[in-house]
Structure 1
Amino acid sequence: MFRFGKLGDGGSGAVNDRDGDAGRAAPRKRADARRNERTLLDAAAAVFVTSGVEAPVRDIAARAGVGVATIYRHFPTRADLIIAVYRHQVESCAEAGPALLASSATPHDALGRWVNLFVDFLVTKHGLAAVLRSDEAGFEALHTYFLDRLMPVCARLLEAAAAAGEIRPDIDAYELMRGVGNLCIGADSDPRYDARRLVELLIAGLRLPR
């Protein structure tokens, strides 16, 4: 995964106005670099969802509005890019949970919207095992990271919906995530199978009778 290097020290002695300007510019530069990387990862994730992880890099570059060389500068290999997208989407899903709870009409609605994001992530994730086939330890580390970040978010959404009297209180986050994952298996290889529709039916079925 691409890392940004630290700026070197400017040396000893008095700091003039020009040095001060450079010091103030550095954080902006790093922030711009992080935004640029997020733009690339968002573009790659969107392309992977529709075209799979073997999609041409030029398609990702076109969606991000950059040149192909920019993609390779940030992510020298396809594996680097796929793993970075994986981690980026995990973080996006984790951060979306509290935001959806705050902005949705009901906790159940927030849960449904979050699960839609989770489905997008699962579709993107399908090519990860093949990419890491020769690195079982790396795959296991990413799987642990995935569970550690997303299970508490899913649990919080379920707890909020249960507290509002919308769903049963005994639904386990791991159980739900595993069920959604199983519904998504094969969705990218069978055009007659609409995994998202089945997942929506699952989430609707969690509701308690009024």
Structure 2
Amino acid sequence: MTGSVSPRRADTRRNHERILAVAAESLSCSAELSFNAIARKAEVGVGTVYRHFPTPESLILAVYEREVRHLVDVVPRLLAEHSPEDAFRTWISEYLAHYMMTKRGLADALTVATKSCEKLPANAYEALAGAVSTLVAANVAAGNVRDDLNPQTVLRGLAGLFYLNPADSWREHTADLTDLIWNGMRKA
């Protein structure tokens, strides 16, 4: 059959995704990874985890890339469902800030993983910059913001989210930071 996927390949993809999902959940609170615990929770053999991710560093980087992809992939849906301004604000508060507040273990694990031979993928920053570019372009087209904005500058401003404390009123502080950035972006 043309275009069909073998059950084995589909199963492999499902296992891969389950392993990543379980690892992401595990890394949300701790930088420590146990391949045995991940295999058990993902309902696969530990050998399957090692076949997909031969080292803890490769698994950590794959989780990071998956999480960044989720942040980027949601942008078109937000723009389809919301006004450009609301899409921008929703992306920051419900996706970017939420990601940063719930992935502290991943951040710590990335620090460890990138000290080894692995390097943080440069395309992750480019992907996030592309997501911000899309949101800024939609707001420029809607007449909401200045047309001379550099999306990378906006992304650098959003780096202030790194300084929020997940145990504090991070949603309120995110709204304050978003307002500050938005006011700097608006037309005079």
Change (3 A) 1:178 1:46: farther
Residue 105 of structure 1 corresponds to which residue in structure 2?
Answer: 82
Conserved? CA contact 2:15–2:44, under 8 Å: no
**TM-score normalized by the length of structure 1:** 0.67
Report the aligned-residue RMSD: 3.2
Tell me which residue corresponds to 1:12: none
Distance in 1 of aligned mates of 2:45 and 2:55:
12
d(CA) in 1 for partners of 2:164, 2:36: 26
Taking the aligned partners of 2:44 and 2:7, their CA distance within structure 1 comes to: 23
In the alignment, structure 2 segments of 5+ residues that lack a partner are: none
Could you tell me which amino acid in structure 1 is paired with residue 157 of structure 2?
G
Cα displacement string for residues 40-80 of structure 1 (whole angstroms, at most 9, x for unaligned residues): 2123223322x13225556645654x256243443233212
Shift of 1:168: 4.0
1:131 and 2:113 aligned: yes
Structure 1 runs not aligned, ≥5 long: 1-19
Q: Kindly tell me the number of residue pairs found equivalent between the two proteins.
A: 178
Deviation at 1:83, TM superposition (A): 0.8
Structure 1 101/130 Cα, relative in aligned 2: closer, same or farther at 3 Å?
same
Please tell me whether Structure 1 or Structure 2 has the larger radius of gyration of its CA atoms: 1
Contact 1:75–1:81 (8 Å) recurs in 2: yes
| Structure 1 position 203 matched with structure 2 position 185 | no
Check the 8 A contact 1:57/1:68 in 2, yes or no. no
Would you identify which runs of 4 or more consecutive aligned residues in structure 1 move more than 3 Å? 23-28, 55-64, 70-73, 121-126, 165-171, 185-188, 194-197
Question: Structure 1: how far apart are the matches of 2:45 and 2:145?
Answer: 47
Structural mapping, 1:69-108, within 5 Å: 69=46, 70-102=48-80, 104-108=81-85
Q: CA deviation at 1:36?
A: 2.6
Cα deviation, 1:90-113, whole Å, max 9, x if unaligned, reads 2222222222212x2211222233
Match of 1:48 among 27, 34, 44: 27
Compare relative contact order (CA 8 Å, sep 6+) and give the higher one, 1 or 2: 2
TM-score, structure 2 as length reference: 0.73
Match of 1:151 in 2: 129
- CA gap of 1:163–1:97, structure 2 versus 1, over 3 A, is same
2:161 match: 183
